[in-house]
Structure 1
């Protein structure tokens, strides 16, 4: 059986270590290999009109980045016996990422949690860019509450359950988690709230939140209270409404746990 591949897109800033740690944790849970890609923007490196000088600067910057990567990755590879490959790109960030994703064909892309001063790509930050252009599964690793290798996994679902997120990868994760599962649902009115509550099962505990200005804050509180460290979000392209897309964006911006956003090309099992 082909081994799954996790691609980590890293900026080599202060939260890279926590992003890699979450990726390694995920790899141990689903038996996947890890590949890391870092891009240096060419215009930030080349300041000379001399071609020879520019090439020398590029080589120096790439070597420095490789050394930084080795410093981050080697302890994880040694401590958790996981194979981690890496590559440094140089050029237009958007184009380099697109090309590398096409070449490497990952099953999951792992990103660090967006920061207030995040890298911009043609008006989008990296997270928005990946979610718009990559149809596969994306994990956004929390910088403060990321996954820990060889630690317990506590899964929650946003507006879904085990049947609406039924893919091979999520099934592998569910096999590793403690039960009962937690389902967190955002509804627009009280009637929906009552209907959703009546659908709860013995295997799943449902929390239902009526949509208002405090919804995401309340959701975040209950995720923390229930010690959820991975929130699964279904982004099936066939059913996702503008409202649901807005909710996902709010969760990405404001919820401080790792998020596991499913593929939008795979028909979900019912």
Structure 2
């Protein structure tokens, strides 16, 4: 059976270990392999130096980053149960990431969360770029909560109550989940009466008023219920108001967020 290809986009920092662990455990659940891509802006490394000095510094930083990644992969994937390939690149963030997506054709892409340097990519509209270049599933990984492949996952759904979807990856993850699942509904977006009637018995639903504190209150309930991963329909970002944009969800919520169909 063909392995699922998972592309992790991250810098090397204190959050990287959690991001890779989340990617590794998700890969174990989905039976896949990982491509770890670290991309840096040259301007983040060198300032106003001669061209020769710049090239020397980039080479040094390349070797340093490559060594750090190899060490991290060895420590996390100590049983070598998952194939993890890695590459370090220096250049324009958008160009490098776009080229990597086209080269590897991943099934699923993982980005770091709000406390990772990768989220500076959000300021460069990198999340928007990834969603444009990649029509499949995208996960914004938490650096606070680690997914564990060896135990049942605590899953939540935002503004929907479907257990079964057209996305096989989502269905596989749901099969590893604790029951009942938790559906978080914002009142103005609450599903139709027909969908309510079809809500599965093994699902708990929390309904929130749509206001300035909605995400804060939702985050508190997620923490109380130890939600590790929240499913969000990636199409909703095209129509919903700014506070529910994917970047804002990532900033406000501690769990990992999976954008899928």
- Provide the TM-score with structure 1 as the length reference: 0.84
Q: What pairs up with 1:1-270 in 2 under 5 angstroms?
A: 1-46=1-46, 47-51=48-52, 53-79=53-79, 81-115=81-115, 120=120, 124-162=124-162, 165-188=165-188, 195=193, 200-236=199-235, 241-243=238-240, 246-249=243-246, 250-263=248-261
Cα distance, 1:164 vs. partner? 6.8
Unaligned runs of 5+ in 2: none
Return the alpha-carbon distance in structure 2 between the equivalents of residues 16 and 167 of structure 1.
Answer: 27
Matches of 1:262 and 1:245, distance apart in 2: 19
Gaps of 5+ in 1: 264-270
In the alignment, is the contact (CA less than 8 A) between 1:197 and 1:208 conserved in 2? no
- Indicate conservation of the 8 Å contact 2:9/2:118, yes or no: no
Q: Secondary structure at the match of 1:86?
A: strand
Does structure 2 retain, via aligned residues, the 8 Å contact 1:193–1:209?
no
CA-to-aligned-CA distance 1:104-160 (integer Å, 9 cap, x gap): 111111111123976645952543443344322111111111313423211111111
Stretch deviating more after TM superposition (64-73 or 125-134):
125-134
Under a length normalisation based on structure 2, what TM-score does the superposition of the two structures give? 0.87
Q: Could you list the structure 1 runs, at least 4 aligned residues long, displaced by more than 6 angstroms after superposition.
A: none
Q: Tell me, yes or no, if the aligned pair for 2:40 and 2:91 is still in contact at 8 Å.
A: yes
Q: What SS does the aligned partner of 2:143 have?
A: coil
Residue of structure 2 in register with 1:266 after alignment: none
**Cα 1:147/1:125, change in 2 over 3 Å:** farther
Number of aligned residue pairs: 258
